[in-house]
Amino acid sequence: MIKTLLSQVKEFKKASFLTPVFMILEVVVETMIPVAMALMIDNGVEKGNMSYIYRVGAVMAVLDIAGLIAGFLGGKYGALASSGFARNLRKAMYTNIQTFSFSNIDKFSTAGLITRLTTDVTNLQNAYQMILRMCTRAPASLICAMTMAFLINARLASVYLIAVIFLGFALVMILRRATKYFQEVFKKYDDLNASVQENISGIRVVKAYVREDYETSKFQKACNKVYEMFVRAEKLVVMNMPLMQFTVYACILCISWLGAKMIVGSSLTTGELMSLLTYCMNILMSLMMLSMVFVMVTMSMASAERVTEVINEKADLSNPAQPVVEVPDGRIDFDHVSFRYKKEGKENVLKDINLSIHAGETIGIIGGTGSAKSSLVNLISRLYDVSEGSVKVGGIDVRNYDMEVLRNQVAVVLQKNVLFSGTILENLRWGNKEATEEECERACQLACADEFIQRMPDGYHTYIEQGGTNVSGGQKQRLCIARALLKKPKILILDDSTSAVDTATDAKIRKAFAEEIPDTTKLIIAQRISSIQSADRIIVMEDGRINGFGTHEELLENNPIYQEVYHSQTKAGGDFDENRGGEQA
C-alpha cells in the first residue's frame, strides 16, 4: 500500500524532500534562540551590559528572520507536494477506472468511487502534508530540545523524560481506541453519497410519488451514522488537550520549584532556568504535534486502503501481446459459448451457444426478461469475456483483437441511453470526433433524428442537459443510434434501443438501415415482433439458450414460443413478457 501511494509522488519528489529540510532548519533556529536568551539574561541583564544585550538581541533577530523564512518555505513546499500528490492520486484512480471492464466496475459502487476520488484523497493530502511537516518538525524539535535541556542541567531535564513517557503512553492508548471509529466512518460516507446520488438522479420520480419526506429521512439517517462515528472518535481525541495542559503545567511547576532551589544553591542561573522552561514548551508541544499526526494518519489509513484498492485493481480484460488491428468483416460466430458474470459463480447465464451470422445480415433477437439477450451481444464487443468456448468476429477470436479496434467496429446502442452535457453535435461526435456537421446530419437522417433536431431553436447546436433531461426518451434513443452510426461500424447492435420510438419511426429506421448500410451486420434486440419480422433471421432466446433461429416465416411455422408471442401481439398488442404472461395465465 505504501509503495503504491509513494509511486504517485512523481514530479513532486523535490518538494517532498525540501519540505522536511526547511522544517528541520526552522527547528534548529528555534532551539538556538533560548540559548541566546539565557546568555542575554546571565551576561547582559544581570550585569547591566547593554552592548552585550544589543549584540545578542541582534543575533536573536537574525535567528527569528531565518526561522521565519525556513517556516515559510517549508509551508510552501509542503503545500505544493501534498496538492500534487493528491492530484496524481485522483488522476491515477480515474485513469485506471477508464480501463475497467464491466466486471471490474461491478465490484465498486458509484458512490464508493466518488468518495474515494474526493473525501479519501483529501484525507491523504492532509496526512501527507502533516507527515512532511509535522512528522519531521515534531521529532526534530523533541530531540533538539531534550538534548539542550540535558546539556544545561541533566537533573532538571529528567522531569521532561518522565513527562514524555507518561504523555506518550496516554496518547497511544487514546489513539488505539479512536482508530477503529475512524476506520468505520468512511464506510458510512459511501452510504451518505449513495443516498444523495440516488435522490438527485431520481428526483423526478421522488416528486412524482411525493416521497420528499421519506428521502429526507433516509438522508438524515445516513448523516446521523457519520455524525455518531465522528463523535465517538472525537470524544477520545479531544482528551489530548487536557492531558497536554496537565503535563505542561505539572512540568512548569516542577521545573520552577526545583530550579528556584538550584538558583538559591548557585547550581543554576536564572537564564538557564528560563531556557529550560522554554524547552519544556518545545518538548511537550512536539508531543502534541506528534499526536495530531497520529490522529491524521489513523484517519487516513482507511482512506489509503480504499484508494490503493482502486489504483491496484487490474482490468479483467487486456490486449494480447500481438493484437489484430483490423476487423475483416462483420461475420459473427459463437462456438459452444457459455458465460457467467462472476468466475466463482456456479450457474452460467449463457449455456452452450452455437451461432453463425453472415456479414451484412440483419438479425432480430427476441426473448423474455432475463433470457440473456443483452449478455449475448455484450460478448461480441468484448465487454465481457466468455467463460467457455469462443466468440469470433470476422473469423478471428475477439480476444485476439486490439480492444479499441474491435469496439470501434462494433457499435453498441445500449438499453440505457446516455447523453452527456453539451450540444447535440458534441454528443454525436462521441461516435467519431472527426465527423463533420454534414456527416452528423446524415447519421441523424438515418436514425430519424434530423426531423426533431431541425425544429429546435438552435438545431444541432442545441444544448443537451446532463443525462439528456431536456429531450424525450424516443429522441434520446434516436440520437444514440445516430452517434453509433457515425462510427461507421462493421457490426451495429441495437439493444432494445427503439422501445421508446413509435412503430412508424421504427419502420423508417429499419428501412434506412437496409438501404443505406447493407454491408453492416445489424443485431436488433426487441420486444415487438414488428421491429424484427423483416430481419433476415431471428433468434429466440429462453433461459440463456437459443430456443429457435430462422426467418419470421420459419419460426411462425415451427417455434411455439414465437408463435405464441406473434399471435398475442397481432391480436392485442404489447411486449414479449406481457403477452407470454397473458397467454400462460
51 has a pLDDT exceeding 90: no
H or E stretch at 101: none
Higher pLDDT pick, 166 / 266:
166
Distance from C-alpha of 376 to C-alpha of 92, rounded to nearest angstrom: 32
CB atoms within 10 A of CB 210: 8
Select the more confidently predicted residue: 519 or 578.
519
How far is it, in rounded angstroms, from Cα 63 to Cα 69? 10
pLDDT band at 356 (very low <50, low <70, confident <90, very high): very high
The answer on pLDDT for 575 being more than 60 is no
Quote the mean pLDDT of the chain: 83
The rounded distance, in Å, linking the Cα atoms of 196 and 191 is 9
- Length in residues, the chain: 585
SS (H, E, C) 265-334: CCCCCHHHHHHHHHHHHHHHHHHHHHHHHHHHHHHHHHHHHHHHHHHHCCCCCCCCCCCECCCCCCCEEE
Q: Looking at the predicted structure, is the pLDDT value of residue 473 above 90? A: no
- pLDDT tens sequence across 360-413: 899 999 988 888 888 899 899 888 888 899 999 999 999 999 988 898 888 888
Residue 155 has pLDDT above 70, yes or no: yes
pLDDT of residue 523: 92
pLDDT of residue 337: 92
Residue 16 has pLDDT above 60, yes or no: yes
Contacts 24+ apart (CB under 8 A), 100-103: 100/313, 100/315, 101/315, 101/316, 101/317, 101/383, 101/384, 101/385, 102/378, 102/383, 102/384, 103/316, 103/341, 103/342, 103/384
**Residue 85: pLDDT band with limits 50, 70, 90:** very high
Who's near 88: CB < 8 A, 6+ residues apart?
8, 9, 10, 12
Average of per-residue pLDDT across 457-465: 86
Q: Is the pLDDT of residue 280 over 80?
A: no
Q: Mean pLDDT throughout 279-304?
A: 76
- Answer yes or no: is pLDDT of 581 > 60: no
- Would you say residue 492 has pLDDT above 50? yes
Q: 113-122, 225-234, 362-371 — which is least confidently predicted?
A: 225-234
Query: Under 8 Å CB-to-CB from 141, ≥6 apart: which residues?
Result: 27, 30, 31, 282, 283, 285, 286, 289
- 240 CB neighbour count, 10 Å cutoff: 21
Q: What pairs with residue 393 in β-bridges? A: 332, 396
Q: Is 75's pLDDT higher than 50?
A: yes
- AA identity, residue 167: L
Residue ranges and CATH numbers for the domains of the chain are 2-312 (1.20.1560.10), 332-416+490-584 (3.40.50.300)
- Residue 557 C-alpha cell reads as 411455422
Q: Closest Cα partner for 258 from 246, 249, 245, 268?
A: 268
What pLDDT was estimated at residue 437?
87
Q: Which residues pair with 545 in a beta bridge?
A: 542
pLDDT of residue 69: 93
Cα–chain center distance at 132: 25
Q: Is the pLDDT of residue 109 over 90?
A: no
CA distance 301 to 338: 41
Report the range out of 131-135, 351-355, 500-504 with the highest average pLDDT: 351-355
pLDDT of residue 89 exceeding 90, the answer is: yes
pTM for the model: 0.68
> Where does the pLDDT of residue 584 fall: very low under 50, low under 70, confident under 90, or very high at 90 and above?
very low
pLDDT of res. 186: 65
- pLDDT of 544 over the 80 cut: yes
Dihedral of the alpha carbons of 213, 216, 221, 226, in degrees to the nearest 10: -170
Res. 448 pLDDT band, cuts 50 70 90:
confident
For residue 521, report the phi and psi dihedrals to the nearest 5 degrees: -75, 125
Using 50, 70 and 90 to split pLDDT, how confident is the model at 583? very low
Mean pLDDT within 487-510: 81
Share of the chain above pLDDT 90, in %: 14
The single-letter DSSP state of residue 465 is P
Q: Which residue has the cell 537564564?
A: 271
* pLDDT above 80 for 174: no
Compute the average pLDDT of residues 5-24.
Answer: 90
Least confident of 82-86, 137-141, 236-240: 236-240
Question: In the predicted model, is pLDDT for residue 184 greater than 90?
Answer: no
